[in-house]
Amino acid sequence: MTRIILLAPPLSGKGTQAQLLKERCGFVPISTGDLLRRASTSLDEEGRQLAKILASGELVSDDIVIRLLSARLEEIGMEKILLDGFPRNLHQVELLDELLQSKNASIDVVFFLDVPKEILLSRIEGRRVCACCGKIYQVTKDEQRCTCGGELITRSDDNVSSFEARYQQYLEITMPLVSYYSSCGKLVRIDGCQEKEEVYQDILKALKERCEQ
């Protein structure tokens, strides 16, 4: 049983790695961003508020995020889970620890995908997401369809001003988690500037070293 976290700046490719780890290793990814995007389509007041926060690049309140995460964990169980985009601040680390302890579980490895800001910025323009299955693409020309047939769309927060807000949040609020998980001996730094297959192979190698002893 392995439980991992992908910790990374926006546009670092963590969603792509989550997808590969799902397809090839059987991990069950939980993206709090995806859970929130789904909740934001609801027509009630909470849905409307969420849509505004997501488009601005600000963080959603911890109680909403933990509520959606707990509900999702109830549905899928605790085996081989991969957390993508959670925790994002030190309070969420505590909330996660409490939640896992109540289920006699813990996190095994935290992968930190390290990518400098200039490279992240260069990825904004070409990023598309499948409206149907959520698969992420970097497009160079107008590719309109995902392999599943779904339409490729630009996320509401994939623009420079929203990226700047998300990156600032990441530096101030999320980066301290790198030191925290490093001090627990759980952090593995991965060079996220490589091709996606090389990033994946580095993650796989570290997973084997850490979890199959």
User: Of the listed 3, 37, 128, 166, which one is catalytic?
Assistant: 166
Residue 22 annotated as catalytic: no
Question: Could you say which residues in the range 57-86 bind ligand AMP, by CB under 6 A?
Answer: 57-60, 65, 85-86
Strands 109-114 and 127-130: what pairing? unpaired
Residue 194's Cβ-side half-sphere holds a number of Cα atoms within 13 Å equal to 13
**To the nearest whole angstrom, how small is the minimum distance from the Cβ of residue 87 to ligand AMP?**
6
Angle at 133 between CA 16 and CA 187, to 5 degrees: 30
**To the nearest whole angstrom, how small is the minimum distance from the Cβ of residue 72 to ligand AMP?**
12
Q: Which residue is nearest to ligand AMP (CB)?
A: 33
Task: Answer yes or no whether residue 53 interacts with ligand AMP by CB under 6 A.
Answer: yes
Residue 155 annotated as catalytic: yes
Question: Could you say which residues in the range 16-45 bind ligand AMP, by CB under 6 A?
Answer: 31-33, 36
Is the separation of the CB atoms in 112 and 4 below 8 Å?
A: no
Query: Going residue by residue from 153 to 192, which x/- string records binding to ligand AMP, judged by CB under 6 A?
Result: ----x--------x--------------------------
Task: Answer yes or no whether residue 51 interacts with ligand AMP by CB under 6 A.
Answer: no
> Using CB under 6 A, which of 9, 10, 134, 192 touches ligand AMP?
10
Positive or negative torsion for Cα 156, 158, 164, 170: positive
First-to-last C-alpha distance (Å) of the chain: 13
Q: How far is CA 39 from CA 18, 52, 106, 156, 184, in A?
A: 21, 12, 27, 15, 33
- Cβ neighbours of residue 66 closer than 8 Å, sequence gap 6 or more: 92, 95, 99
**Neighbouring C-beta atoms of residue 69, cutoff 10 Å:** 21
Question: Could you say which residues in the range 94-153 bind ligand AMP, by CB under 6 A?
Answer: none
Residue 166 annotated as catalytic: yes
Q: Which residues are catalytic?
A: 14, 88, 127, 155, 166
**Contacting positions for ligand AMP (CB under 6 A):** 10, 31-33, 36, 53-54, 57-60, 65, 85-86, 88, 92, 157, 166
